[in-house]
Structure 1
Amino acid sequence: MEDRFAGIREFVAAIDGGSFTAAAETLAVTGSAVGKSISRLEARLGVQLLHRTTRRISLTTEGEAYLGSCRRILEELDQTEAFLSTGHQLPIGRVRVELPTTFGRRHIMPTLLNLSLRYEQLDLSITLQDRAVDMVGEGIDLAIRIGALGDYPDLVARQLGEQRLVICASPAYIKRRGVPKDRAELAKHDCLIGWRRSARPNWLINNGKGHGEWFEVPVRHELTDGDALLEACLSGCGLAQLPNWLASKGLATGRLLPVLPELSGVVMPIHVVWQKTRHLQPKVKIIVDELVRMASENPAAFNAT
């Protein structure tokens, strides 16, 4: 019977090492043996997984799609073998995590790095971006999402807390341009925005009925990083809508002033999201459990205070 797993370790090791030679050193075989194993794998699949030149190897489109599945198979196998040998569900393997840029950097990264120090076989691949991607299609194991979640049957979510949006400006900007009296007067002001959720530059404002609605604003500067957006606001470049955890220090010290408070206060939930599987892998479970614990012990980081 043909071995369906033959060549998979060699394929992954070659990509991780960047060459057949590096893979051979990792697996304690010859480079020729690695190359032959991958060639037999390609022949069995009927597709080319790698582009080969005398200097380097690279993935084909089919190879990119196959690599994610191969990694998950090997990681689950390693996880199971570790459990059988130790009797404990240890977090082993690589976890692919997607985080919002500024919130992830400030509030989630320290926890993830501490976990990686506590569990030496827990490896992390972390992407910081505010654009939500297809977790299943991109092979993302776990993500932090801010805002309303769509209906995704392949995902599981747990709410960690929420953030509240506030409109603010620096005293220098207010002195130079004045305070808008209502939302119509925003058209006369310089507005700063972060990452766009749609083609139009919008803020999510309070509609006075307990709900948020998208309101188009004129944009002076567009900054896709939260810390850069905060810095531009502090520097007097315009009005900005910021989450409370980002604006709180500036508001407390007077470096920022609240503007149009009746339009502020829209609450956005913060969730940890992971792929739905029959059995939650220990490497993902340990992160979910730690984030839930941190949210309960440090509510200021996850709640609209």
Structure 2
Amino acid sequence: MDKKDTFVPHLDQLNGIMTFVEVARAGTFTAAAERLGITKSAVGKSVLRLEERLGVKLFHRTTRRLSLTIDGEAYFARCERAMNEIGEAEAALKSQQTSPKGRIRVDMPAAYGRRILLPIFLNMAKRYAGLELTLTFNDRFVDAVEEGIDLLVRIGELADSSGLVARPLTTQRLTVCAAPEYLAQRGTPATINDLANHHCIVGFRRDQVKTWILLQDGIAHRYAPPATHEFGDGDAMLAATLAGCGLSQLPMWLVRGHLKRGELVEVLAGHSGGEMPIHAIWPRNRHLLPKVRAVVDELVQQAEQGSLD
């Protein structure tokens, strides 16, 4: 293409494209206006001018909803890709700064987050005066894009990773254990089949009882133990196990100290060793900001040193 044929948009045209992309992402003029810090009327006029310039309708408009036309979908895909590339270019330049700055929101599993990750984040906050933390602790499903979360840390297989970028950190090793008091009363299981005669403490997430991961001939299998007690929190499961309420499969990072002190005893050692992956996750449609990159790099470094498992 000759230089005379190259389209160089004016500032107003660029603003119109940016407004269009924000409306397509937000789904309404009102939401786009709030994100852009302008009036709803200004958003509508900007999109209308863009449609007039292009000579096509970009949105289907009704009193109840706003949706992209076929032309709008095609134009949005190209514009969003271009804006993402610009964002990535800016992020690459900003990443050269030595200290991460600004607010970062991170959501992580409750027990794992409090015990393993929180000290790491607090140490980063002391090292980087410009870094501001918003930390939340959840074992429920969280939509990072919908809730404006910069980074997630999640344990387990990723059921739906579409729209997300996942960076493996480490694995969580699981073990079946019980309090000496419980084993003295109920006996020690020698085989997986023996679990049918025991009280078992199991996790409870999203209205479902969590299965255990047990090894059989070196191969990991899912096993549904008798769910005597169900808890939606790892710390609660640990407390019940220490109290002698039954057997439980818990991560080594949670019980390692209790095993060393003899407060818990590992059972079915030949079937233990099941593992679950731990990932750092962020939205694919957002470039990796320097502050997010700094946190991910720190978590990767801590994982390599064995501090996350």
Corresponding residue of 1:93 = 102
Contact 2:302 2:308 survives alignment (8 Å): no
1:271 aligns with 2:279: yes
Structure 1 portions without partners, runs of 5+: 7-36, 47-61, 63-75
Contact 2:139 2:205 survives alignment (8 Å): no
Q: Provide, for residues 248-286 of structure 1, a one-character-per-residue CA deviation record: whole Å limited to 9, x for no partner.
A: 112112111112223311111222222235742111011
Q: How far does residue 240 in structure 1 lie from its aligned partner after superposition?
A: 0.7
| Matched residue count | 239
Q: Secondary structure at the match of 2:281?
A: strand
1:224 aligns with 2:232: yes
- Residue among 260, 263, 268 paired with 1:260: 268
Contact 2:202 2:209 survives alignment (8 Å): no
Corresponding residue of 1:293 = 301
Q: How far does residue 176 in structure 1 lie from its aligned partner after superposition?
A: 1.0
Q: 1:210 to 1:107 in 2, by over 3 A?
A: same
Alignment of 1:23-172 (within 5 A): 41-44=39-42, 88=97, 90-150=99-159, 152-172=161-181
Q: How far does residue 156 in structure 1 lie from its aligned partner after superposition?
A: 2.0
Q: Secondary structure at the match of 1:111?
A: helix
Corresponding residue of 1:9 = none
Q: 1:216 to 1:88 in 2, by over 3 A?
A: closer
Q: Provide, for residues 196-255 of structure 1, a one-character-per-residue CA deviation record: whole Å limited to 9, x for no partner.
A: 366244222223342232x22222322222222112111111111011111111211211
Contact 1:201 1:217 survives alignment (8 Å): no
- One-letter identity of the residue aligned with 2:165: V
Q: Secondary structure at the match of 2:235?
A: helix
CA RMSD of aligned residues (A): 3.3
TM-score (norm 2): 0.66
Structure 2 portions without partners, runs of 5+: 1-11, 20-35, 45-64, 66-85
Higher Cα Rg: structure 1 or 2? 2
Q: Could you tell me the percent identity over the aligned residues?
A: 42
Q: Provide, for residues 38-70 of structure 1, a one-character-per-residue CA deviation record: whole Å limited to 9, x for no partner.
A: 7x6244457xxxxxxxxxxxxxxx9xxxxxxxx
Q: Secondary structure at the match of 2:169?
A: strand
Q: Secondary structure at the match of 1:136?
A: coil
- One-letter identity of the residue aligned with 2:112: F
Contact 1:169 1:233 survives alignment (8 Å): yes
TM-score (norm 1): 0.67
Contact 2:209 2:230 survives alignment (8 Å): no
